[in-house]
Chains A and B, each alone.
Chain A
C-alpha cells in the first residue's frame, strides 16, 4: 500500500481539463512544500512535471499546474491532448526519517 493516495484512473476528452488528487497526511504532504508530480508513458522513464508543489521545470507546458490544500495535492492538466495519456505519480517529502514517498499512480485516459 502506497503512502500517498491517488485515484487509480481518470479520463477526459481532448481540450478538457482534468485534476488528479494526491492525499497524504500532516507528516508529509501537509508539512512541506515538497510535492512533485511525474508523468510516465508505457515503457519509458518517469518525467518530472511539477516540483515544490507548483513549480514547473524548464520546458514543461503551462497546461500542467500543481496546487495543494492541507494534506491533499493536485495536478491539473488543461487543454487535454492525446499525448497526455500516461500514468501520473505524486511524490512528497516525509521528513528526515522516511524521506520521499510516492502515490500509487493514476492512469490518465484521453477519450
Chain B
C-alpha cells in the first residue's frame, strides 16, 4: 500500500513562498494522480491541484496564478510551491494519491503551515 509523508517549513513569512514535499513509499510516482489539498484551521477542505503520470499538472483556478506542483521521479517525491502567501494561506496541507476518479484514496498525515511575520 502506498504511504505518503509531507515535509517542509511550519512557518512562512507573508509574501514569501510556501514549499512542501511529499515522499512516496510503496508505489511509483510514475503512476496515478498526485494531489495537494489544504484545510484552514476549523474549516473545510480545498483541492489545490495534482500532477499525474504524464507530468501534466492541473490546478484549482482560484490558486492557479500562485501554485506550482512538480515531481522528482528519481526521489519518488512530488512538491508544492505556493507563492506570495498571506495569512489566509495558513492551513494543514495534505498530499494524496489515487486514480482520476478516486484521487484521494491515500493521504499523508498532513502538515500545518502558518503564515505569519
Residues of A within 8 A of B (CB): 2, 34, 36, 38, 44-48, 51-52, 55, 57, 89, 91, 97-105
Contact = CB atoms under 8 A, between A and B. Distances in A.
A98 B59 CA distance: 8
B14 interface: no
B104 A99 contact: no
B11 to A, nearest CB: 20
Given A45-B109, A46-B107, A98-B61, A51 B101 contact: yes
Contacts of A104: 44
A104 B105 CA distance: 20
A51 B102 contact: yes
Given A52-B101, A102-B44, 7 more contacts: A45-B108, A46-B37, A91-B45, A99-B49, A101-B47, A104-B44, A105-B45
Contact of A102 (B45, B94, B103, B109): B45
A52 B47 contact: no
Nearest to B62: A98
Given A45-B107, A97-B61, A34 B45 contact: no
10 contacts: A46-B37, A46-B45, A51-B105, A52-B101, A89-B45, A91-B104, A98-B61, A102-B47, A105-B44, A105-B45
A91 B101 contact: no
Contacts of A100: 47, 60, 103
Contact of B104 (A48, A52, A98, A103): A48
Nearest to A101: B47
Contacts of B108: 45
B44 A89 contact: yes
B26 to A, nearest CB: 15
A2 B101 CA distance: 20
Contacts of A91: 45, 47, 104
A45 B110 CA distance: 7
